[in-house]
Amino acid sequence: MTLPGIFFSAFLIGFSGAMVPGPVLVYAITSSSKRGFWAGPLLVLGHGILEGLLLILLVLGFAKFLSHELFNGIIALAGAVVLVFMGIGMIREARTASLNVKTDAPVSSLHPVPAGILISISNPFWIIWWATIGLNFLSLSRAYGNLGILTFFSGHLLSDLSWYSLISALVTFGRKLISDQIYRGILVGCALALLGFGVYFGLTGINILFL
Give pLDDT tens digits for 102-142: 434 334 467 889 988 988 887 777 877 787 677 777 777 88
Instruction: Flag whether the pTM goes above 0.85.
Output: no
* Number of domains present in the structure of the chain: 1
Give the domain range for residue 139. Answer: 3-210
| Closest listed residue to residue 130, CA positions, set 34, 56, 42, 38 | 56
DSSP 175: G
Whether the pLDDT of residue 52 is over 80: the answer is yes
Whether the pLDDT of residue 1 is over 60: the answer is yes
